[in-house]
Structure 1
């Protein structure tokens, strides 16, 4: 499903891969631990919203058969270089036909993004049903979701991050009426003695944690909420879940 490079275009995708991969690395520790407890030998893992393949690289290096799905063409290009043992496909996680696998993951707010305008509570219910159907009895579903608990500020927030290769300007605001977060990103990437400018707007649908837990119950998952991956605490409003299909 080819899409234009308007979300995580090449410059932003590269910066994200190099500077914002801590959650993906930490999540891999949790996924490997949970998987080893459930399965004594390597299994097939589907990584939804795989980004630049950081989690997939750790999982595939441990011997698992990993397929990564992401909406961004630039992210998929990086992932194929970073995690050559895994397989990657560009697609919307809401449209992708899930193959039978033992483990499904979705790390770093994959379910929140409104890139293709499909993220909603009803769509999540349908998605969770399809995930449940793709897993065998005892199969694992590990994911995180950005919740309305992130709304600890009523006014727009600005931030600047920079190093010797790039400067990034954020403008973040939350619409409390729609529970939608908008993140405007202006990136200046150094190119010789000049800077190349790029701009993206990302919108995310925030969810209430009790609603997510209710959906998991309805679909038939048992689950444990998590506030950290590995040794890394999750930021306020980011809620992770380790789910299991009944045996």
Structure 2
């Protein structure tokens, strides 16, 4: 099976690209409070290195984090020892009864396994709906078409002992985004190179909202988590499970 977010990319993502998770956390906690969810279990799908889980546990929630990357889970377990973390695909893992489900950082877009390679993740939404307690909420964000408006874009970011180069190309006919990622990380006196290619299916927020409605959720589309504005062509969806089946 192809590996994603291997050791070096997991490290670089954790130390160099942690703003998204940390800056979105206050807004997510505010959304939970607005839905009167102030305690209980949050299942964090695509939990990465545990940055969101860290903020949720600080606020008094129990957290179960799921991620397909073993190196990411290793970092998360060290960061948040009082949370539970499991290695697995968010499209396959059993979701236990919980008060909230989160998925921060366009995790639902990634085509890391065959179950994710469908037109819309409706099966996942059905499983989340079944797991949520009445009045529970699912909070997640997606990447929409328009990530790359023309041709191929290239860029790089560097830290104290690492460099990452990213090449992005969008196929508008198939709504696919291809990311080629090259990392260089210093190990001793030398730099170690690694390469990964990630594919994402790009979804329109309104189409995802329609699928959530079909499952039974009440849905709100946002362009920010509180004061933290999402990047261009991204949307957050707040899917609430009615407090009683009669309200569906």
TM-score bracket, shorter-length normalisation: over 0.9
- Residue 121 (structure 1) shift: 4.9
Q: Where does residue 229 of structure 2 map in the other structure? A: 233
- Residue 129 (structure 1) shift: 1.0
C-alpha separation between the residues in 2 aligned to 1:151 and 1:198? 24
1:213 to 203, 209, 213: 209
Answer with 214-223 or 75-84: which moved more: 214-223
How many pairs were matched up? 243
Q: Where does residue 244 of structure 1 map in the other structure? A: 240
Give yes or no for the alignment of 1:163 onto 2:159.
Answer: yes
Q: Where does residue 92 of structure 1 map in the other structure? A: 89
- Residue 184 (structure 1) shift: 0.5
1:137-191 deviation per Cα after TM superposition (whole angstroms, max 9, x unaligned):
11011000111132422x0111111122111111110112211111001111112
8 Å CA contact 2:16, 2:159 repeated in 1: no
C-alpha separation between the residues in 1 aligned to 2:147 and 2:187? 35
Once the two structures are superposed, the pairs formed by residues 1-247 of structure 1 within 5 Å of their partners are 6-39=3-36, 41-121=38-118, 124-153=121-150, 155-247=151-243
8 Å CA contact 2:168, 2:180 repeated in 1: yes
1:37-62 deviation per Cα after TM superposition (whole angstroms, max 9, x unaligned):
33364211100000000000110121
* Runs of 4+ residues deviating >4 angstroms: 120-123
1:198-225 deviation per Cα after TM superposition (whole angstroms, max 9, x unaligned):
1111111111222111101111111221
TM-score, normalised on structure 2?
0.93
8 Å CA contact 2:209, 2:237 repeated in 1: no
1:69-99 deviation per Cα after TM superposition (whole angstroms, max 9, x unaligned):
0000000000001111210000101111111
C-alpha separation between the residues in 2 aligned to 1:61 and 1:85? 10
Give ranges in structure 1 of 5+ residues lacking alignment.
none
SS at match of 2:192: strand
8 Å CA contact 2:221, 2:238 repeated in 1: yes
C-alpha separation between the residues in 2 aligned to 1:222 and 1:212? 12
TM-score, normalised on structure 1?
0.93
Give ranges in structure 2 of 5+ residues lacking alignment.
244-248
SS at match of 1:177: coil
Q: CA RMSD in A?
A: 1.5
